[in-house]
Amino acid sequence: MDFFETQERYRRREMRGWFALLLRVAIVFGTLWFGWVWGKAEQSSLQAEANLVIYENNVRISELSNEVQSLQRLLAETKAAGTAKSVTGKENVALRQIIAQKIAAGVKPEQIIASMQGLGDPVNCREIARHDIAVATPLYAGPESKITLFDGGLKLHVEGSAGKKAQRNTPWFDPSQPVRVRQVFLGSQKIISGVVPLETIIPTEDWILKLRFETASLHGYVTSIVSSCILR
């Protein structure tokens, strides 16, 4: 064997060594990459399962909450039915007499029902409208003292007394004096008066409108705040 054959043999042996080393490195990196991909897939699967469990639990909690509210409402209606039945009994002659007197005086039954529906404490109120209204005085009765809300379903008009320093160009009302609010809701009119802040309610069958009037930041104006509430 000459020198060149020996050199070629060593060169081939060295190449085989490098090839084996590269193959081992490739196997190691391939194994690591496969493990990483598998781990990510497993993590995504576990996360998806956890999200599904959380969603199902939230749905169940919502269903249970609705069931509890329904049972509470049914219990309240049952108690109310018992109370209403006792009202019509012999023990509540005075209440029936008052209702009969009001009807005899010309009060419509619908008005009595609306007044009774307004009894209770407003809860779960949600503000649905807020507007500044110019208070009409003997020196000012412009269009800004009237507003229309809910496509004409509610109309408000506010009147007050002119302040001591009020003039033709500054016809501001006196906030220390009572104001008069005329509210027309679905054709029915109601007038309230008092010193601001002033509150009133408009009852409906299942909910009420709560109206609050406060002194506005603009001179001569009050802020009307309309909220939708339910009765407790």
Residue-wise pLDDT tens digits, 152-182: 888 888 888 876 665 555 667 788 888 888 8
Answer whether residue 112 is part of any domain: no
Residue in this structure with the two tokens 């509610």, named with its chain if needed: 154
Answer whether residue 27 is part of any domain: yes
Mean pLDDT of 45-68: 85
Confidence bin at 81 (pLDDT 50/70/90): low
Counting Cβ atoms within 10 Å, is residue 137 exposed (0-12), middle (13-18) or buried (19+)? buried
Q: Are residues 59 and 133 in the same domain?
A: no
Q: Are residues 82 and 141 in the same domain?
A: no
Answer whether residue 95 is part of any domain: no
Q: Are residues 80 and 130 in the same domain?
A: no
The domain tally of the chain equals: 2
Q: Are residues 77 and 146 in the same domain?
A: no
Q: Are residues 65 and 153 in the same domain?
A: no
Euclidean distance between the first and final Cα of the chain, in Å?
A: 109
Answer whether residue 14 is part of any domain: yes
Domain boundary among 31, 63, 87: 87
* Parent domain of 198: 121-231
Least confident of 114-118, 135-139, 140-144, 217-221: 114-118
Coil, helix or strand at residue 222: strand
- pLDDT for the residue numbered 176: 83
User: Is the Cα torsion angle 182, 183, 184, 188 positive or negative in sign?
Assistant: negative
CB 198 within 8 A of CB 179: yes
Residue 1 pLDDT > 60: no
Answer whether residue 107 is part of any domain: no
Q: Which residue has the higher pLDDT, 106 or 133?
A: 133
Q: Are residues 174 and 73 in the same domain?
A: no
